Structure 1
Amino acid sequence: MTVRFRCIEYKILIFIMCSELILESSGLKCYNGIQRESSRWVQCDLRRGYRTCYTKHNHLGEVTGKGCASREKLYYEHCENHEMEGLVERVCYCSFNLCNTASIQGQGVCVGLLFVSLLLVQSLANIMSKFTSQF
C-alpha cells in the first residue's frame, strides 16, 4: 500500500470519528414517559449534567419511567437494583441516542452503524488499492 492510500484511509476514519463527536455535542436524546416504545423523546441538557438515559422497571419487569440521568457516560448498558421499604426496582442506564427503549434495540442500532461504517471503510480501501495498483 502506498502512503497516499494510507492517508486517505486515515482521513475517512477521522471523518467518521468527528461526525460522532458532532452528533454527541448536540446533546443526548432519551425517551421520556412510561410507554413501551414511546415516540416522545427529550433532548437532555448536557450543561446540567445529564449524560445518560435511564429506564426504570418495577419488580414485575414493567417499565415505570424513562428519561435523562446524570450518571457518568457509559459505553454499555448498566443496570442496578434499588430496594427501599420493601419495594424493589431496577434502573438501567445507557449513553446512546434513544437507547432507553424497553428492549436493547438502541444498542443494536449503534453497533450496526459501527459495523456498516467499518465495512464502508474496508470497501473504500479495497477500491483505492485496486485503483492505485493500476497506475
Structure 2
Amino acid sequence: MYTWNEIYENAIDKACGSSELRAKDEARFQVRNLIIDLGAPPLDESEVPEDVVEDYCKSLNIKFDECGNIVSLELPHWIEDIIYKRKDDAYLEKDLNATAQSLFGTDIEITDEQMQQMVLMYRHNEDCNVAINDTLEDTVRRVLKR
C-alpha cells in the first residue's frame, strides 16, 4: 500500500502516460470523488488541488495500490457508527419482513411508516433474555395489529 506522498513523488519527472503518472491521476480522481460524496467542495475550487488531496489523505489515512486505487481509509468513528446502524437496521428490516410473511403470508404489504415503527418498537423491546424470534413476532403483531 502507498500513501498519497509516495504516489505523488513516484510520478515526479515521469513521462506522459507512464504508469506512475496514471496512478497519481487515478488516486487524485478517486480522492476527488470521495470528498465530493462526503459533501466537501470539489478540488477544482481550491488553489492547489494536490494540497487538498494530501490533507484529506492524511486526515482519513487513505492508502492506495500501485494503480492509484483507494484500498484503505479510516473514517471518523461517528461516521462508522452511522454506517453500522444503517446496516444493522437493514438486517432487522429483513428479519421483520420475513417474520411478517411467515405469520401472515407472502402477500402482506408493509408501509415504510409501519416498518419504521416496527424497527423502533423492536429496539425498545429487545431483551437478551427473550428469544429474538419471539420479540420479532410480538413487534410485527403489535404494529400490524393482527
By relative contact order (CA 8 Å, sep 6+), the higher-ranking structure is: 1
TM-score by length of structure 1 reads: 0.26
Instruction: Give the structure with the larger helix fraction.
Output: 2
Instruction: Give the structure with the larger strand fraction.
Output: 1
